[in-house]
A and B are shown apart, each in its own frame.
Chain A
């Protein structure tokens, strides 16, 4: 369900701080088991994170509900929107999500650049994660005063080209229209699923009721590597 990039950093955080990582179980269809999620939450929960859409299964997670429940126990929520962003428009304010991330390269943009949305109150509280030029108001050898948002998080010369290219990619996607993209993809997903299921021995992983255009499958008796190479 989760991408390594939304697991490994948290494991590193647990190692550093002694925090405990708990995993929301998933059912056979590839959907989070929401009853179990509710059970896992407690006043000790600091942060809840999951993806909006699973890149492996296509499942669209019920993030509005996930966020509401987490806030109910005072936990913050980070949603990994890398797979969702090209397919679904997330209204971060309506969702009341604390953090939402996505990667430019999943939206026709360049590699190595992305978006971290964070509520201003959170971003103000967070210390800079890197030090360098451009992120300061004043520096003496005794003390440094950090600049305001967003400069506080932008140490050094930024990836200017990446930012401009990402902007162009987003303009391009808006020109086509996210609604039209989603509609066409839904059509393709239905058609591809129907046609694939005609192949004998083919098994689809991820059959959530609410899913986007990702189909993971195996064909009985054939190594996935071979299918991947021939189709690739």
Chain B
């Protein structure tokens, strides 16, 4: 599936809930299906800066696609990174770089988080895109 389609799927899923308690519960559920980062990659270098809780992300090129794995010590953050990885993992670096990120606004996540947490979310997106940029240059 293309990034855009996955994002629409996520927006649809989130629109089914009436309140944020349910959405948080769903996010925690999604966190459980997060492709976990190998313990060996859980190093300080792989921690995303700008998040209040710890978030580790690792990226690997498989064929021509970038595959992300991650983990977090907070379960809601784990849900957030799981949503992002679902949207961006297994895609070509070029597509990740060019992908829009409006879907985050559409599910209302950013405005529902406190400013510091919203900044953490932006840092996560930025980091995933940075990985894509780094691997894109390797492909060429």
Contacts and interface: CB of A to CB of B under 8 A. Distances in A.
Q: Do A and B come from one complex?
A: yes
A221 to B, nearest CB: 11
Interface in A188-216: none
Contacts of B73: 223
Contacts of B74: 223, 225-226
Nearest to B28: A226
Interface string B17-58: 000010010000000000000000000000000001100000
Question: 8 tightest CB-CB pairs across the interface, nearest first?
Answer: A223-B74, A225-B74, A225-B53, A229-B76, A226-B74, A226-B76, A226-B75, A225-B52
Interface of A: 223, 225-226, 228-230, 232
Interface in B83-140: 113-114, 117
- Secondary structure at the A interface, as helix, strand, loop or mixed, is helix
Contacts of B52: 225
B24 A223 contact: no
Given A225-B52, A225-B53, A230 B77 contact: no
Q: Name the interface size band of chain B.
A: 10 to 19
Most buried by B among A225, A228, A230: A225
Given A223-B73, A225-B76, A225-B117, 7 more contacts: A223-B75, A225-B53, A225-B74, A226-B75, A226-B77, A229-B113, A230-B24
A226 B117 CA distance: 11
Contacts, number: 24
Interface of B: 21, 24, 52-53, 73-77, 113-114, 117
Contacts of B75: 223, 226
Contacts of B76: 225-226, 229-230
A223 B114 contact: no
Given A223-B73, A225-B74, A232 B114 contact: yes
B83 to A, nearest CB: 14
A229 B24 CA distance: 9
A225 B117 CA distance: 9
A9 to B, nearest CB: 22
Nearest to B27: A229
B114 A225 contact: no
A223 B53 CA distance: 8
Most buried by B among A226, A229, A232: A229
Contacts of A225: 52-53, 74, 76-77, 117
Contacts of A230: 21, 24, 76
A226 B77 CA distance: 8
Nearest to A229: B76
16 contacts: A223-B53, A223-B73, A223-B74, A223-B75, A223-B77, A225-B52, A225-B53, A225-B76, A225-B117, A226-B75, A226-B77, A229-B24, A229-B113, A229-B117, A230-B24, A230-B76
Contacts of B21: 230
